[in-house]
Structure 1
Amino acid sequence: MARRKKVYEGKAKILYEGPEPGTLIQYFKDDSAPTAAEAAPAAVEGKGVLNNRLSEFFMAGLNAIGVPTHFIRRVNMREQLVRMAEIIPLEVVVRNFAAGEISTRLGIPEGTPLPRPIVEYYLKDDRLTLPMVAEEHIVAFGWATQQDLDDMIALALRVNDFMSGVMLGVGIRLADFRIEIGRIWEGDYMRLIVADEISPDSCRLWDLRGLVDRGDGQPIPEPGPLADVYTELARRLGVLPSNVTHTVKPTLIN
């Protein structure tokens, strides 16, 4: 498919005009998010191909169970046809286990199961390093309405149920993940959909197959990070292209 005008370029993806009104072509780059020591994203060969296939797998699965997403179909190894949406300027994070920033902020040991899935919001502004915001901030500053927030929580928890089940089925624990949500209009009716991507870049994944026995018949409760996360996840889900064999580490949620 011939590419059209570039609409947006981020750290990991490029958006081009789609072939029809209201559509976009989403191109997955090999770049990963830069670390504190890097001035620019680091290129990881094959990462974009795998993230394209993995995001297709998850988005198509959500569509199939009635969770609306922007995904229409995969075009080729690196591109998807998606619906154009007005992205709400928030990252929606769902946490199932304590890890990263929530462990540091609240003093909860890493790996502790949370009493229930916790939904958090972070303002999408790289200049401010994605500050955490409360529902009161979101409504007061007009980023979303209270009804939007109620719908966003419902969407996020449905995504969590689906993703947790899929991951558990292949021996992986979904500790936490982040999604973006957009608005689309169908005539005068507006609804919210899951947008952007779902891939190892936006998930914290722990390998359950590597647990060892402590000697009392019980496995060690703290699973380790999934080694070679992109390739291994694609392999376990059965979506690994045969020509991708690289080894990389995951990008984790703070």
Structure 2
Amino acid sequence: MARRKKLYEGKAKILYEGTEPGTIVQYFKDDATAFNAEKKDVIDGKGVLNNRLSEFFMTGLTQLGIPNHFIKRLNMREQLVRAVEIVPLEIIVRNVAAGSMAKRLGLEEGTPLPRPIVEFSYKDDSLGDPLVPEEYIAAFGWASQQEMDEIVSMALRVNDYLSGVMYGVGIKLVDFKIEMGRVYEGDFPRLIVADEISPDSCRLWDMETGQKLDKDVFRRDLGNLADAYTEVARRLGVMPSNVTHTPTKPTLIN
């Protein structure tokens, strides 16, 4: 059997050449990183959980008519996705002040925002993914003004969907980040949601207790990260309600 061609390896995923033209196989690793990879660990089962949760969310976006790169899940750790030209931005949508925003503005963490706020950071790990204003994005040609309008509109639609889904299972969507990619139909580029949507890329708090169910558990040493992600999966019906996390083999619904 021929070895697959590795295209890219990031902190949480490996991308391989897909089996069909225009596709990529996205492999979810168990690696956990924080503070621009200054803090690292391997969390058994994390990749399996993120694969299944990202599948769940991307499928939900498809059902709402929000275009994204997800095609199908291949196995417990891999999914087939469309190859895209990634826009070099992380799009951050905030509903509640937390993390870097709370520190930056001197706000108490947990302060509700008057409306969802969309921020952008330039994707460059060596620079720490710095926040950038829309003027920079236009000036450096990372995205056109028309694309920026579309990105903001799509990000807010994703926020409406995720907020509603999470509210239904007693979880507050504090903030999240997504990436966008371009696919070409002839010479015409179209934007779609890419990368992943998982507890790695969201802040999720239990609505009653405030318990954190996202990567802040790892960042702040608040407990077992896999247990937190397992709880999110259980509430969303991705895992049976009578299953708790086991270090090596999380039990998931096919």
TM-score in terms of structure 2 length: 0.87
Tell me which moved more, 171-180 or 238-247: 238-247
- 1:229 shift after superposition: 2.0
Root-mean-square deviation over aligned CA pairs? 2.0
Is this contact kept in 1: 2:230–2:244, CA < 8 A?
Answer: no
Alignment partner, residue 32 of structure 1 = 32
| CA 1:3–1:61: 2 relative to 1, 3 Å | farther
| Mapped partners of 1:3, 1:121: distance in 2 | 37
CA deviations on 1:5-32 (whole Å, 9 max, x unpaired) are 0111001000001111100000000001
Alignment partner, residue 121 of structure 1 = 120
Count, aligned residues: 234
| CA 1:94–1:34: 2 relative to 1, 3 Å | closer
Alignment partner, residue 4 of structure 1 = 4
- Work out whether 1:245 is the aligned partner of 2:246: yes
- Work out whether 1:224 is the aligned partner of 2:221: no
| Mapped partners of 2:246, 2:133: distance in 1 | 42
- 1:75 shift after superposition: 0.4
Give, as a single letter, the amino acid of the residue that structure 1 aligns with 2:239.
L
Give, as a single letter, the amino acid of the residue that structure 2 aligns with 1:8.
Y
Alignment of 1:129-208 (within 5 A): 129-208=128-207
Alignment partner, residue 15 of structure 2 = 15
| CA 1:113–1:34: 2 relative to 1, 3 Å | closer
Q: Secondary structure at the match of 1:63?
A: helix
Q: Secondary structure at the match of 1:200?
A: coil
Alignment of 1:85-104 (within 5 A): 85-104=84-103
TM-score in terms of structure 1 length: 0.87
Is this contact kept in 2: 1:34–1:42, CA < 8 A?
Answer: no
CA deviations on 1:136-156 (whole Å, 9 max, x unpaired) are 000001111111100100110
| Mapped partners of 1:34, 1:103: distance in 2 | 18
Give, as a single letter, the amino acid of the residue that structure 2 aligns with 1:4.
R
| Mapped partners of 2:89, 2:63: distance in 1 | 25
- 1:245 shift after superposition: 2.5
Unpaired runs of 5+ in structure 1? Answer: 211-222, 248-254
Give, as a single letter, the amino acid of the residue that structure 1 aligns with 2:10.
G
Give, as a single letter, the amino acid of the residue that structure 2 aligns with 1:63.
T
Is this contact kept in 2: 1:3–1:17, CA < 8 A?
Answer: no
Alignment partner, residue 74 of structure 2 = 75
| Mapped partners of 1:237, 1:161: distance in 2 | 16
Give, as a single letter, the amino acid of the residue that structure 1 aligns with 2:15.
L
Is this contact kept in 2: 1:71–1:80, CA < 8 A?
Answer: yes
Is this contact kept in 2: 1:11–1:41, CA < 8 A?
Answer: no
Give, as a single letter, the amino acid of the residue that structure 2 aligns with 1:10.
G
| Mapped partners of 2:44, 2:98: distance in 1 | 28
